[in-house]
Structure 1
Amino acid sequence: MTQDPATVSAVRFEHRDEGLGLGTGAPRLSWQVRTDDPAWRQTAYEIRLDDGPAVRVESGEQVLVRWPFDPLPSRTRATVRVRVAAGERWTAWSPPATAETGLLEPGDWSARFISPRTLGAAGSPAPVLSRTVALRGEIAAARLYATAHGVYRATLNGGRVGDEVLAPGWTSYHHRLRYQVHDVTALLRPGDNTLDVLLGNGWYRGRLGWTGRRAHYGDRLALLAQLEVTYADGSVEVSGTDERWSASNSGVLHDDLYDGQRTDLRPVAPETGPVDVLDEDLGRLVAPEGPPVRVTEVLPAVSVWQSPSGRTLADFGQNVVGRVRLRVRGATAGAEVVVRHAEVLEDGELGTRPLRSAKATDSYVLDDAAETMLEPELTFHGFRYAEISGVPDVRAEDLQAVVVGSDLRRTGWFSCSDPDLEQLHDNVVRSMRGNFLDVPTDCPQRDERLGWTGDIQVFSPTASFLFDTAGFLGSWLADLAADQLPDGSVPYVIPDVLRDIPDMAGDGHPTAAAWGDAATVVPWVLHQRFGDAGVLERQFGSMRGWVDRIASLTTDGVWTGGFQFGDWLDPTAPPDDPFAAKADPGVVATAHLARSAEIVAQAAALLGRDADAKHYAGLADRTREAFARTYVAADGAVHSDAPTAYALAVCWALLPEAEQRQYAGRRLAELVRENGFRISTGFVGTPLIADALTACGHAGLAYRLLLEKSCPSWLYPVTMGATTIWERWDSMLPDGSINPGEMTSFNHYALGAVADWMHRTVAGLAPAAPGYREITVRPLPDAALDHAAARHLTPYGEASVAWRRADGRFSLDVAVPVGARATVHLPDGGEPVAVGHGRHSWTITDPCTLP
């Protein structure tokens, strides 16, 4: 056998970067190959489990391949290696990759949920649940399996268990509750070992939404924990939460995600009490699919100064999500320190009005320690600025912003010659980081922070380029399916905490186009960007249910009434009426039905559901025909004559005649020009407008729109010093005052969806087959830019496109990972070029200099 110089990366299990606590015994496997041989092609692979015989498969697949062994039982640790062949040449084996299954069946749990009996009630100090366990002999390995009603932080013998923040995160708790697996071997010792678990209200019992309601899921905090210790002699000892545990009060007097945390640091004799064992369904326990929330960055304060009113303010230089870490020296017992948070300043003071009812305030009652580090654990805030009171001499070196969020792996980058455009892209990345905190929230600061379906529907392509969101969004989609109504209606937010609030539709069955379409669009995006057909299989019932529900509410094929968000936050809408938009809601809703029906048809075909594929393809055709019949004039004018209406019609093939498409393109261009290249679209139209202009041959206008700096525009916030994407184009007015509208967030990623066009069209890097196995390289340069580049870590490896204009020449460099291929369209209009893996370069006459 000939040794192949190609190398194989360590195996990845499902979409997990860490193999501890897998939720399936048959995880799909992925790997990447590196080679300098441009002719190399994988023809087969072998997989070895532990020291067993290798299983050989004749296949070129390397992403999410089927597990070829018997499923692993619970608690099983396994090592996997892969080698691949190109003809008769085999690579060396990949580095070993180790995975360990979690508790896969309810019967694996001997522990039961426990809750403090007399302590820990709502409004009381956060409880600590404790037990001391005596261990014998030499400890070989130990695992702590844990979850909570609320959020938890565990310590063993005083040492922190894990590095997760706000575990177990937020899911549709009645249907799905994540548990974590912690390797605690290093924290244990022979003899007595004490496990203490602090419980906070979190999403389970804290305030959620703008109505002030608390305890959406229950009014008792609870813990489920199971410690399993394996000794050197092979014996196993299991200790779980039961009636032998005890409860005590902590120094956390109050904790809430919106309002903040109040902590008393003075030592007091703790009040203790017993626990109750609860009868809870363990069948809803699930393992995590994506990474946990962690501290992802720590930023020093940039400056500290006194406001006009004499208050001490600190600036951390960028809008972030997390908490403030403050060092206090020479404290006096009983003194109080208060930290307030805000995203912006107004008139030189904290601009707290956009917080609405969220207090976003942490406070501390100090002991007399010579030096104290203050930082809350059971809350988070969206902020750039902090106001500190109770500390006589605050210095910048005493302050840090501790940034928290789901610890997603960065996978996408963009650069260009325009610093403002690069800043816009940085702002998109920062807004995504801040709002991808266990669920994709709309904003991280005010009394909302909910998983709005419309926001992630439009942003999911951008998100899936910038970060590895497959597990994160896959988990969120499982909650969407769980919270979806039996008739197929999709709640406005997932997890659904608005169901018991009087519905804006009036009947409790939400059918808002673009919002509910997250049920179809997000799974399709995950399949396209990560090559995951499994998410389509799992979500297919949900996808079909949504389309069936909307189709049942049409008359003659078009939407006929009921509540719609429409083109939410159209910039022409007044601050007190975000629903006012130029685009007719019926146009928006019918267009989305056509698109979602087509997605379901394509998913059904891929899954081998031929009857469904035929049915939904027919529905899509009939809806397109009804749209054209009802909303499109003979010349191509679309009802409401709004940019969003034309963008929908162009991008989703809703105009049957060539003449109509030509008119729509011309009219869209006219509207852009008439508005002075300022934005005139809301949440629905904004992700599509640049693509629509490009498709109609007006890429130059798309560039003009992107680079405009007057309000409203993408770059207007940049000129105002924004470091994140705003909810409104004019969240801050030109005079520095805050927009008076209720919907005024300074960290709201939805309008940053244009970054997807920047990746695909400005730089020219786009997927052409699921998982980027085929790549389209089609840069559209413009005289406004000298260079642009995009880089993405695809499931097959790194792909990149970079172009530069100089001295009348246009240079293009392309990198394609092994296992993928690309079709390159040079901007001179010549025939496309097909290339395999490796690095490729071209130089042509600069098309921007041609007449």
Structure 2
Amino acid sequence: MKKLEVYDLRCEYLINPIGLEENKPRLFWKLKSISKNIVQKKYRIIYSNELVDLNKLSDKCFDTDWIISDQSTHVPYPGGALNSEERIFWQVQIEDNTGNISEISAPAFFESGMKKWQAHWISSPQVPKDKALRPSPLLRKSFLIPEKKIKRARLYSSARGLYSSFLNGEKVTEALFTPGCTNYKDRILYQTYDLGPILRSGENVIAASLGTGWYAGNYGYEGLWNIYGDTLALLSEIHIDFEDGSRLTVCSDDSWKTSLGPIEYSDINMGESYNAGKEIPGWNSPDFDDTLWMNVVEEDLSLDLLQGHQGEYVQRIKEIKPIEIIKSPAAEIIINMGQNMVGWLKVRIKGKAGDRLSFDFAEVLDKEGNFYTENLRGNADMKDTYTLKGAPEEFFEPSFTFHGFQYVRILEHPGDIELDDITGVIIHSDMEQTGEFKCSDPMISQLQKNIEWGQRGNFLDIPTDCPQRDERLGWTGDAQVFIRTGSFNFNTAPFFTKWLRDMASEQLENGNLPVVVPNILGGMNHPPYGSAAWGDASIICPWTIYDCFGDKRILEEQYPMMVAWNEYVTGKTVDNICKNDFHFGDWLALDQPADSPSCFGGTEKEQVATAFYAYST
């Protein structure tokens, strides 16, 4: 081991990120030493636009020279504002409090996003706009790459809805549910991908499939769909830079082709219906004849809302196997996964063409041991269906839906089903785990494990209240209650940075805030805005991220929102007591009479509201 070493270089909490939205990103590093009581005394950052030997300074490199500081997190990038698609290579050297100087670290890099789009939003004319459940279109474009050495290749992509991108038949990324859940009225994220490993000389094909997602699918418990728009649309732009200085650009436009495929619908609340008999082999690969496919439609939709991706992607985190197949008292076949999880099933199945596999999901069994779904309510069918094509062996897992469950009920199946045929795929935002707790009491240790599982299930791009029924909303009150615990378990700073930007975009001119973010409510019995504790998330959440991670920028960025909420609440007070507004109070507290239908706790709402006002102020 080296006497003193700098390692784990990051930018905006991420390792070698590309497509950064920030013009002045922050840098992070760690140090390790064979000695004890060692702290950083000085640092220097060496950076360049090119991957050169930064140990040998030249006119292509910049050097901050030694800066006296023990700071190794949230260090502002010392260069100027980043240009479009600018890549910066950087290294760090430090001196410790005993005078030891480290070697210069291994290089890291970061890359800014794209500033100006040339692509157009495109859609399939075959997809209806007036149906809640609609098929997922396939879109493709063939293009040629000359016999030249590629220096860098990037795909910039987004969707109104959800998308999955392919290049030459391969998935471009393992990221799920892109472009993410945001306030689509104000901002739509785009993602940046490195295409270098998949491109080849000659014909290449960029392709995508689309789902309704949060943008146009069933969302929330009010039976709403097409909340943000009725058109599923793709935005795609490829930049290929060659060593000779030339560039090839491939944009989504009306030259793309489209067809419907095997996904008859894939909806976050309602599940997926997949008909393997409608598969189109090779549709996303070169050498496929798309002359019978329809032309896409260029949509006149704004590009002004686009922002670079922020935070970690939703990913497949792990797979688990079921522990038993049971027959319930109601004579139903039920699979027990042995763990309440969020994700879906991956199934191996055999049968003849036209046979169907269908199953739905639940978190618990009732007291008799039967499948229980009453808690899911009417706007979450939570059912996946697969129609076989008749191959010797087939596999199914959905594309644009997820479920919260431990139990799976088999509704239709061609023959017997075995435990080995079933795998549970667990998904959530790929946050880095930073804390753990266990002790001599197994019940307390298990409680901590349950908390972690609950966080994994509810941190899927936004912090939700539940991952299973027809809600799955970013309730602000839930987020502020849990954020400190969540920030012990995982690095939540990138996750909450993204979500708080949506909260700020939803704030009214008078400073009032919605109770869910993104805000899709409006037809409820209570107003979609207001309420102490819920609105106080605008102050508690940024402060907690600062307190846990030392992130001053989140305070700087959200300070206007924080002040505006506090001033709004102040305007509703009489003698410093909160009055004259809707409040949830001590929501769902158990101190109401047993026969009371109310969800409001027994504590006076004004008392709860005033307590939060004092805390936030």
TM-score, normalising length: structure 1: 0.67
Alignment-derived partner of residue 41 in structure 2:
43
**Percent identity between the aligned chains?**
35
- The 3 A distance-change label for structure 1 pair 75 and 94 is same
- 1:577 and 2:594 equivalent? no
Alignment-derived partner of residue 495 in structure 1:
518
**Is the contact made by 2:126 and 2:260 (CA closer than 8 Å) also made in structure 1?**
no
In 1, the alpha carbon distance for the partners of 2:464 and 2:336 equals: 24
Q: 1:373 aligns with which of 392, 395, 401?
A: 395
Alignment of 1:224-623 (within 5 A): 224-267=235-278, 272-329=293-350, 331-346=351-366, 347-357=368-378, 358-388=380-410, 389-498=412-521, 500-502=522-524, 504-505=526-527, 510-573=529-592, 574=594, 577-597=597-617
Shift, 1:209, TM fit: 1.4
**Is the contact made by 1:474 and 1:535 (CA closer than 8 Å) also made in structure 2?**
yes
Q: 1:74 aligns with which of 63, 80, 84?
A: 84
Greater mean deviation of Cα atoms: 301-310 or 488-497 = 301-310
In 1, the alpha carbon distance for the partners of 2:479 and 2:313 equals: 19
**Is the contact made by 1:480 and 1:495 (CA closer than 8 Å) also made in structure 2?**
yes
Question: What secondary structure is seen at the aligned counterpart in 1 of 2:277?
Answer: coil
Shift, 1:381, TM fit: 0.3
Alignment-derived partner of residue 287 in structure 2:
none
Shift, 1:387, TM fit: 1.3
In 2, the alpha carbon distance for the partners of 1:300 and 1:48 equals: 48
Alignment-derived partner of residue 213 in structure 1:
224
- The 3 A distance-change label for structure 1 pair 300 and 139 is farther
Deviation string, structure 1 residues 701-754 (Cα, Å, up to 9, x no partner): xxxxxxxxxxxxxxxxxxxxxxxxxxxxxxxxxxxxxxxxxxxxxxxxxxxxxx
Shift, 1:4, TM fit: 8.7
Question: What secondary structure is seen at the aligned counterpart in 2 of 1:125?
Answer: coil
Shift, 1:111, TM fit: 0.7
**Is the contact made by 1:355 and 1:447 (CA closer than 8 Å) also made in structure 2?**
yes
- 1:138 and 2:138 equivalent? no
Shift, 1:416, TM fit: 0.5
Shift, 1:219, TM fit: 0.3
Alignment-derived partner of residue 284 in structure 2:
none
TM-score, normalising length: structure 2: 0.92
**Is the contact made by 2:4 and 2:100 (CA closer than 8 Å) also made in structure 1?**
no
**Is the contact made by 1:4 and 1:89 (CA closer than 8 Å) also made in structure 2?**
no
Shift, 1:58, TM fit: 1.9
- 1:55 and 2:64 equivalent? yes
Query: Which residue identity does 1:111 align to in structure 2?
Result: A
Shift, 1:503, TM fit: 5.8
Query: Which residue identity does 1:324 align to in structure 2?
Result: L
In 2, the alpha carbon distance for the partners of 1:369 and 1:433 equals: 36
Shift, 1:138, TM fit: 3.3
- The 3 A distance-change label for structure 1 pair 514 and 13 is same
Alignment-derived partner of residue 123 in structure 2:
115
In 2, the alpha carbon distance for the partners of 1:53 and 1:18 equals: 19
Alignment-derived partner of residue 98 in structure 1:
109
Query: Which residue identity does 1:278 align to in structure 2?
Result: E
Query: Which residue identity does 1:591 align to in structure 2?
Result: A
In 1, the alpha carbon distance for the partners of 2:539 and 2:353 equals: 57
Deviation string, structure 1 residues 417-446 (Cα, Å, up to 9, x no partner): 111111111000000000000000000000
**Is the contact made by 1:4 and 1:92 (CA closer than 8 Å) also made in structure 2?**
no
- The 3 A distance-change label for structure 1 pair 404 and 18 is farther
Question: What secondary structure is seen at the aligned counterpart in 2 of 1:504?
Answer: coil
Question: What secondary structure is seen at the aligned counterpart in 2 of 1:137?
Answer: coil
**Is the contact made by 1:120 and 1:249 (CA closer than 8 Å) also made in structure 2?**
no
In 1, the alpha carbon distance for the partners of 2:62 and 2:580 equals: 63
**Is the contact made by 1:120 and 1:127 (CA closer than 8 Å) also made in structure 2?**
no
Greater mean deviation of Cα atoms: 49-58 or 402-411 = 49-58
Question: What secondary structure is seen at the aligned counterpart in 2 of 1:384?
Answer: strand
Query: Which residue identity does 2:537 align to in structure 1?
Result: A
Question: What secondary structure is seen at the aligned counterpart in 1 of 2:138?
Answer: strand
Stretches of structure 2 that go unaligned for 5 or more consecutive residues are 49-53, 55-60, 281-289
Stretches of structure 1 that go unaligned for 5 or more consecutive residues are 598-851
Shift, 1:247, TM fit: 1.7
Query: Which residue identity does 1:291 align to in structure 2?
Result: E
Shift, 1:318, TM fit: 0.4
- The 3 A distance-change label for structure 1 pair 427 and 577 is same
**Is the contact made by 1:300 and 1:399 (CA closer than 8 Å) also made in structure 2?**
yes
Shift, 1:556, TM fit: 1.4
Query: Which residue identity does 1:323 align to in structure 2?
Result: W
In 1, the alpha carbon distance for the partners of 2:312 and 2:16 equals: 8
Question: What secondary structure is seen at the aligned counterpart in 2 of 1:286?
Answer: strand
Question: What secondary structure is seen at the aligned counterpart in 2 of 1:521?
Answer: helix
Question: What secondary structure is seen at the aligned counterpart in 1 of 2:76?
Answer: coil
**Is the contact made by 1:4 and 1:90 (CA closer than 8 Å) also made in structure 2?**
no
Shift, 1:502, TM fit: 4.5
Shift, 1:575, TM fit: 8.0
Q: 2:189 aligns with which of 153, 175, 178?
A: 178
Deviation string, structure 1 residues 485-531 (Cα, Å, up to 9, x no partner): 11111101000101x324614xx6x2201111000000000000010
Q: 2:212 aligns with which of 201, 207, 212?
A: 201
More helix, by proportion: 1
Query: Which residue identity does 2:383 align to in structure 1?
Result: T
Shift, 1:155, TM fit: 1.2
Query: Which residue identity does 1:114 align to in structure 2?
Result: I
In 1, the alpha carbon distance for the partners of 2:64 and 2:420 equals: 57
Alignment of 1:709-720 (within 5 A): none
In 2, the alpha carbon distance for the partners of 1:501 and 1:18 equals: 44
Question: What secondary structure is seen at the aligned counterpart in 2 of 1:565?
Answer: coil
In 1, the alpha carbon distance for the partners of 2:46 and 2:82 equals: 14
- The 3 A distance-change label for structure 1 pair 206 and 338 is same
In 1, the alpha carbon distance for the partners of 2:535 and 2:16 equals: 32
**Is the contact made by 1:118 and 1:274 (CA closer than 8 Å) also made in structure 2?**
no
Q: CA RMSD in A?
A: 1.8
In 1, the alpha carbon distance for the partners of 2:505 and 2:301 equals: 18
In 1, the alpha carbon distance for the partners of 2:413 and 2:182 equals: 38
**Is the contact made by 2:584 and 2:600 (CA closer than 8 Å) also made in structure 1?**
no
Query: Which residue identity does 1:115 align to in structure 2?
Result: S
